[in-house]
Amino acid sequence: MDITKFYANPDEGPLDVIKPDGGFTGIFRTMAFVGDSLSSGEFESTNAEGGKGYHDLYEYSWGQYIARAAGLKAYNFSRGGMTAKEYLESWGADNGVWDPDKAAQAYVFALGVNDLFGLRQELGSAADVDVENPENNKPTFAGMYAKIIQKYKAIQPKARFFLMTMPRESVKYRDNPSDMIKLEHAKLLYDLAELFDYTYVIDLWKYGPVYDAAFKFNFFLGGHMNPAGYLLTAQMTMSYIDWIIRNNPEDFAQVGFIGTPWHNAERKW
């Protein structure tokens, strides 16, 4: 057995090795997915008159694909059209996402599309975040996104957080205004990850495939993904998390103690 295959490899990128079974993502027993339609397995229907319908089928969400592959329990803290603003102001409380009984060992955030392209919320910056008191955060996307992290940290202080960037749609991204907005969103997530412990970026903008016409032909159904697209997203997400774990073994050695009063003082939390 070549055990080195399970160690970090400095020549391996986050998505160079796809782990259909999730690899070390399986060390988590509970994982919550905070997001919008693409986190909810939303399918887009069209009737005979051309009218559109949008349907959140959570069993097809990439979070539930991860749960089945990695043998963990997944919470869909998501809904089509979700924004950080709505999540904080109404939807979260109405849907029990702050319930301590639903505290997870890990949270994956995939918010930003509706905030920046629909609501056209001001992006803001890490300077909008008061790490000591989230009530002082500014009402920008950055401030509200960070406040969601902070609220979950208050519920599960040692949880691990994975912040997902938006993939680009063009190789020549500088000629695509939406890709440039997504790049600024990605930069913000790296800045926010620096504010909080045990917080990491899943950078699909940089390392993921380009969501061009060929990609959408294979993996989209209208403006949302098809079943294969959600499964592919699950495999990319699990593989990326596996890569993060293998490159930061000290950060994940005590995952089994998350949500308990115990820890090992000789190892980094």
Q: How far apart are CA 178 and CA 88, in angstroms?
A: 25
Whether 139 shows a pLDDT value over 90: the answer reads yes
Give the number of C-alpha atoms closer than 13 A to the C-alpha of residue 27, restricted to the C-beta side: 21
pLDDT band at 193 (very low <50, low <70, confident <90, very high): very high
- At residue 255, the pLDDT reads 98
Considering the entire predicted model, what is its pTM? 0.97
Q: What is the pLDDT of residue 267?
A: 87
Domains of the chain by start residue, with CATH: 18-251 (3.40.50.1110)
Report the pLDDT value the prediction gives residue 34, as an integer from 0 to 100.
Answer: 98
202-250 pLDDT, tens per residue?
999 999 999 999 999 999 999 999 999 999 999 999 999 999 999 999 9
Q: Give the model's pLDDT for residue 182.
A: 98
Give the span between the Cα atoms of 62 and 110, in whole angstroms.
11
Q: What are phi and psi of 250, to 5 degrees?
A: -65, -35
Q: Report which of 201, 256, 237, 246 is spatially closest to residue 27, judged by C-alpha positions.
A: 256
Tokens of 16: 């160079």
Quote the pLDDT of residue 268.
Answer: 82
**Phi, psi values for residue 48, rounded to 5°:** -65, -25
Q: Categorize the per-residue pLDDT at 146 as very low, low, confident or very high, splitting at 50, 70 and 90.
A: very high
- Burial, 173: exposed, middle or buried (Cβ in 10 Å; 0-12, 13-18, 19+)? middle
Spatial CB neighbours of 1, under 8 Å, sequence gap ≥ 6: none
Find, among 115, 110, 108, the residue nearest to 85 by Cα.
Answer: 115
pLDDT tens digits for 77-131? 999 999 999 999 999 999 999 999 999 999 999 999 999 999 999 999 999 999 9
At 205, is the secondary structure helix, strand, or coil? helix
Q: What gap in Å lies between CA 125 and CA 86, rounded to an integer?
A: 19
